[in-house]
Amino acid sequence: MHYISTRGGIEPIGFAQAVMMGLATDGGLLVPSQIPVLDPEQLRAWAGLRFQDLALEVSTLFIGDEIPRADLKALIERSYANFSHPEVTPVVTVGKRRILELFHGPTAAFKDVALQWLGNLFEYLLEREGGILNILGATSGDTGSAAIYGVRGKGRIRIFILHPKGRVSPIQERQMTTVLDSNVHNIAVRGTFDDAQAIVKTLFNDLAFKSAYRLGAVNSINWARILAQTFYYFYAWGRISGGDVGRRVSFSVPTGNFGDVFAGYLARRMGLPIERLVIATNRNDILSRFIHTGVYALGEEVYHTLSPAMDIQIASNFERYLYYLHDGDQALVCALLEDFRHTGRLRVSAERHQKAQADFEATAVSDPETLDQIRATYEATGYILCPHTAVGVRAARDLPEAICLATAHPAKFGAAVVQAIGQEAPLPPALQGLLERKTRCVELEARAAAVKGYLEATLGTVSAP
């Protein structure tokens, strides 16, 4: 399997190189040169597999012989051993609704499914090449802890995560700062999330620094993350259909950067019998507006909502869909992105817009509707939805048979849950005892020079042979 850029500016590369590259060097996103398509026999045979075995089969299609099967199998087993549910991503029934629970990983959010595997992939590939990687990132809450748990304790990887001091929830802060492994560096910057993000951007743009210190990112554009997110679509279909390939299922997906729902689109292109895919957004509705109008246009600002992991202005995986929507026409993708860069909007043709409407449904859900859904589900069933999951459930209100992806445990978003139902969700094992544990974190001015100095001081000592 080879990987190419959505913008056509790189020579085809293999899977390992695509994982290490992350963002394509021409600024585009990496995609496989071809999407593998399964025949119905194969699908039927896979329907009864356990999650890990299914993950092995699906990922082999994209990795080929670049990783020996026994190694890949061990890597996958390791990645999902830290999940607290034996099924990894179980499908549960809540009233008449099916929910695909993706929050049984070590940080209680769906990002663990991809980041546990990505951390192990990085480690495996670095071991093979004899390299090291220094991950630098900024977080407003969820991604930071999932990334930290993905790489903690790994000898060839160090991770530096910036968070805005005092501006992430106490649980989210503790999830990061209680990880005491020596390769984990939490940095609280005295500023906002935007300040932290800007610092990371400045340091990545300092190309000499970036290459000398082998800085890498773990953002949601890494192809390996998309791949890992297809596993649970296959798994859920298998549980529901029992292998009956005539049985199609629909999914509703709480959406921010478009990684999760894009994985569903990919699974469908691979032949998984998916009927409808619902893009569920909060008030930050650029994707929902695109599906309804064919115009992808920046909103006025990023709104802070009760589902903060979906508070995005630009969906970073959308470019992958643009590429497939235009049948891999890279020149056209470049032209559309150029429009977007200059004017903050792009428009696809009427024909492509129709195709997009056949691919996805989309609904934007407000905060009051989110609260109302948490309350209604709780009153009817006793089940507590996290606010992101509630957005997905509300968006699928007219599709009772759609499986809703539960992207976080409700206890991570206690304030919203209390607002909806007057009580908190009980803490899952992953979040218990956090407040009593020892923490480690440095505090720095919100200036790139301060963070750069900290990295130099730390890596200067740690990386000396």
Ligand X SMILES: *Cc1c(COP(=O)(O)O)cnc(C)c1O
Which sequence positions are flagged as catalytic? 111
**Residue at 116: amino acid letter:** Q
φ, ψ (nearest 5 deg) of residue 223: -55, -35
Q: Is 259 in the site for ligand X (CB under 6 A)?
A: yes
C-beta of 260 vs 367, nearer to ligand X:
260
Single residue of 99, 309, 364, 417 touching ligand X by CB under 6 A: 309
Instruction: Specify the residue, 395 or 408, whose C-beta has the smaller distance to ligand X.
Output: 408
Name which of residues 18 to 57 contact ligand X (CB under 6 A): none
Strand partners, 363: 280
- Examine residue 220 and tell whether it contacts ligand X (CB under 6 A): yes
Mark the segment that binds ligand X (CB under 6 A) among 38-46, 107-115, 161-169, 351-359.
Answer: 107-115
- 348, with CB counted inside 10 A (0-12, 13-18, 19+), is buried
Angle subtended by helix axes 318-325 and 259-269, to nearest 10: 30
Both tokens of residue 14?
A: 């293999």
DSSP state at residue 290? H
Question: What is the closest distance, in whole angstroms, from the C-beta atom of residue 218 to ligand X in the complex?
Answer: 13
Q: Which helix (H) or strand (E) is 137 found in, with range?
A: strand 133-138
Q: How far apart are CA 265 and CA 261, in angstroms?
A: 6
| 3-state class percentages of the chain: helix first, strand second, coil last, to nearest 5 | 50, 15, 35
* Helix residue ranges per DSSP H, 12-98: 15-21, 40-46, 51-63, 69-80
For residue 310, state whether it binds ligand X (rule: CB under 6 A): yes
CA 322 to chain centre: 19
By CB under 6 A, name the one of 101, 173, 260, 319 that touches ligand X: 260
Is residue 406 a contact residue for ligand X (CB under 6 A)? no
Q: Which 76-105 positions form the footprint of ligand X (CB under 6 A)?
A: none
Q: How many chain residues interact with ligand X (CB under 6 A)? A: 17
Instruction: Select from 20, 58, 100, 109 the one that contacts ligand X (CB under 6 A).
Output: 109
Q: How far apart are CA 145 and CA 178, in angstroms?
A: 10
When the beta carbons of 241 and 407 are compared against ligand X, the nearer one is 407
**CB under 6 A: which stretch of 251-259, 360-368, 422-430, 457-465 binds ligand X?**
251-259
Candidates 107, 255, 363, 377; binder of ligand X (CB under 6 A) is: 255
Q: Pattern of binders to ligand X over 178-217, x per CB under 6 A?
A: ----------------------------------------
Which of 22, 407, 421, 444 lies at the binding interface for ligand X (CB under 6 A)?
Answer: 407
Contact 331, 284 (CB under 8 A): no
Judged by CB, which is closer to ligand X: 142, or 319? Answer: 142
Of residues 141-160, which lie at the interface with ligand X (CB under 6 A)? 142
Determine, following the binding rule CB under 6 A, whether residue 257 of this chain makes contact with ligand X: yes
How many CB atoms sit inside 10 A of residue 359's CB? Answer: 17
Q: Give the bridge partners for 58, in sequence order.
A: none
Q: Which residues pair with 296 in a beta bridge?
A: 346
Site membership for ligand X, residue 388 (CB under 6 A): yes
Q: Interface with ligand X by CB under 6 A: which residues?
A: 109-111, 142, 220, 254-260, 309-310, 388, 407-408
